């Protein structure tokens, strides 16, 4: 199979590329290297992918029709390119709308012109907003996103569903819950906290530490993409939660990280952020029943594997 991975140089994208290359597929990674962190970091993410002759990297923008028209035809698209990050989307929503909505529409148009039969879309748990249910299920309301980022992800899902209805494209939208692991984005809590702790700086604690996230180890995210690609052969549309199914509280995260690093974390208490949902947990009943998705990495093991990478990357 030949696969196009948009956002292929990013945190999740580079792991998707590595996994599918190792499985024996041809992979084209399209990435503009733009966004809120260092392009060099993204190029480093692709170091192991570049060892494969079946890998091709295209530096380009999903909004650029000329760039898209020069891409080879593929059997499936994993659409991960996005402006990511919840909080900055409140300050500066326009790039989010531009990349995540217009860019996604361009990718959809491209799949139509090339008759690509299957597409996996990276949606987000943020579409659930402050869900009152203990665990969010795909049937829960997604009518009250708390940030422009979440709005663009919800709109992306709607655009995907319309495309499926009109031409039978098989689409799986993966509502990913807080991915972590080696190469994690530097703006995400675990990576940011590890860096601050390492430098002896205080960790910003929004709220009282009782907020929580369902942290999904990167290998489980990659597995969900594998499962979803198999499922999309049916040419239908659906959304699936991708999580670990367990909430780690912010104060537990900080304590575990401090123990793992052998350091005593100092925190700076801040008001809860308006765009942050209080707590997340994925109900995995649907993704298990339909995709066969089952997360394998528990948080303590995932944290150790993240730290092993972090130590190497910062030594």
Ligand X SMILES: NC(=O)c1ccc[n+]([C@@H]2O[C@H](COP(=O)([O-])OP(=O)(O)OC[C@H]3O[C@@H](n4cnc5c(N)ncnc54)[C@H](O)[C@@H]3O)[C@@H](O)[C@H]2O)c1
Q: Which residues participate in catalysis according to the annotation?
A: 149
Task: For residue 201, give the DSSP letter.
Answer: P
Piece in contact with ligand X (CB under 6 A), picked from 4-12, 132-140, 231-239, 251-259? 4-12
Q: Give the 3-state secondary structure of residue 150.
A: helix
- When asked if residue 25 is in the footprint of ligand X (CB under 6 A), the reply is no
- When asked if residue 31 is in the footprint of ligand X (CB under 6 A), the reply is yes
- When asked if residue 80 is in the footprint of ligand X (CB under 6 A), the reply is yes
Residue 34 or 255 with smaller CB distance to ligand X: 34
Mind giving me the DSSP string for 29-92? EEE---SSS-HHHHHHHTTTGGG-TTEEEEE--TT-HHHHHTSPP-SEEEE------STHHHH-
Which among 96, 157, 171 is positioned nearest to 128, based on CA atoms?
157
Q: Are strands 248-249 and 212-213 parallel, antiparallel or unpaired?
A: antiparallel
- When asked if residue 55 is in the footprint of ligand X (CB under 6 A), the reply is no
The kind and range of the H/E element at 26 are strand 26-31
- When asked if residue 128 is in the footprint of ligand X (CB under 6 A), the reply is no
- When asked if residue 185 is in the footprint of ligand X (CB under 6 A), the reply is yes
Task: Say how far apart CA 89 and CA 98 lie, in whole Å.
Answer: 12
CB 78 within 8 A of CB 49: no
Tokens linked to 294? 């089952």
Residue 102 or 113 with smaller CB distance to ligand X: 102
> From the list 61, 138, 151, 214, which residue makes contact with ligand X (rule: CB under 6 A)?
61
Piece in contact with ligand X (CB under 6 A), picked from 26-34, 161-169, 189-197, 259-267? 26-34
> From the list 122, 160, 229, 257, which residue makes contact with ligand X (rule: CB under 6 A)?
122
Least Cβ distance, residue 122 to ligand X (angstroms)? 3
CB 123 within 8 A of CB 177: no
- When asked if residue 81 is in the footprint of ligand X (CB under 6 A), the reply is yes
Piece in contact with ligand X (CB under 6 A), picked from 108-116, 171-179, 194-202, 277-285? 171-179
> From the list 3, 4, 5, 11, which residue makes contact with ligand X (rule: CB under 6 A)?
11
- When asked if residue 224 is in the footprint of ligand X (CB under 6 A), the reply is no
Piece in contact with ligand X (CB under 6 A), picked from 57-65, 136-144, 259-267, 303-311? 57-65
Which among 111, 46, 101, 44 is positioned nearest to 74, based on CA atoms?
111
| Burial classification of residue 148, based on how many CB atoms lie within 10 Å of its CB (0-12 exposed, 13-18 middle, 19 or more buried) | buried
Where on the chain is the footprint of ligand X (CB under 6 A)? Answer: 6-7, 9-13, 30-35, 42, 61-63, 80-84, 99, 103, 122, 124, 176, 178-179, 185
């Amino acid at each position: 199979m030949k696969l196009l991975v948009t956002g292929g140089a990013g945190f999740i994208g580079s792991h998707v590329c590595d996994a599918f290359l190792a499985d024996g597929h041809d992979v084209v990674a399209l990435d503009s290297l733009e966004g809120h962190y260092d392009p060099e970091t993204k190029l480093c993410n692709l170091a192991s992918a570049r060892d494969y002759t079946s890998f091709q990297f295209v530096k380009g923008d999903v909004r650029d029709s000329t760039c898209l028209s020069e891409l080879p035809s593929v059997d499936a698209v994993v659409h991960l390119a996005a402006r990511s990050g919840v909080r900055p989307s409140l300050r500066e929503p326009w790039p989010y709308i531009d990349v995540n909505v217009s860019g996604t529409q361009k990718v959809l148009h491209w799949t139509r012109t090339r008759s690509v039969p299957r597409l996996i879309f990276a949606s987000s748990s943020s579409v659930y907003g402050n869900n009152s249910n203990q665990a969010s299920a795909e049937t829960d309301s997604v009518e009250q996103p708390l940030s422009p980022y979440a709005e663009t992800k919800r709109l992306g899902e709607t655009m995907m569903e319309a495309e499926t209805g009109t031409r039978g494209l098989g689409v799986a939208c993966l509502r990913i819950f807080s991915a972590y692991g080696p190469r994690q984005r530097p703006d995400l809590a675990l990576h940011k906290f590890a860096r601050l702790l390492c430098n002896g700086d205080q960790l910003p604690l929004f709220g009282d530490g009782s907020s929580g996230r369902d942290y999904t180890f990167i290998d489980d995210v990659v597995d969900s993409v594998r499962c979803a690609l198999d499922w999309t052969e049916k040419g239908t549309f659906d959304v699936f939660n991708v999580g670990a199914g367990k909430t780690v509280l912010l104060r537990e995260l900080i304590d575990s990280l401090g123990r793992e690093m052998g350091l005593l974390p100092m925190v700076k208490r801040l008001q809860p952020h308006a765009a942050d949902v209080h707590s997340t947990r994925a109900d995995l009943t649907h993704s298990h029943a339909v995709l066969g998705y089952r997360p394998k990495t528990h948080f303590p093991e995932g944290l150790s594997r993240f730290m092993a990478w972090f130590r190497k990357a910062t030594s």
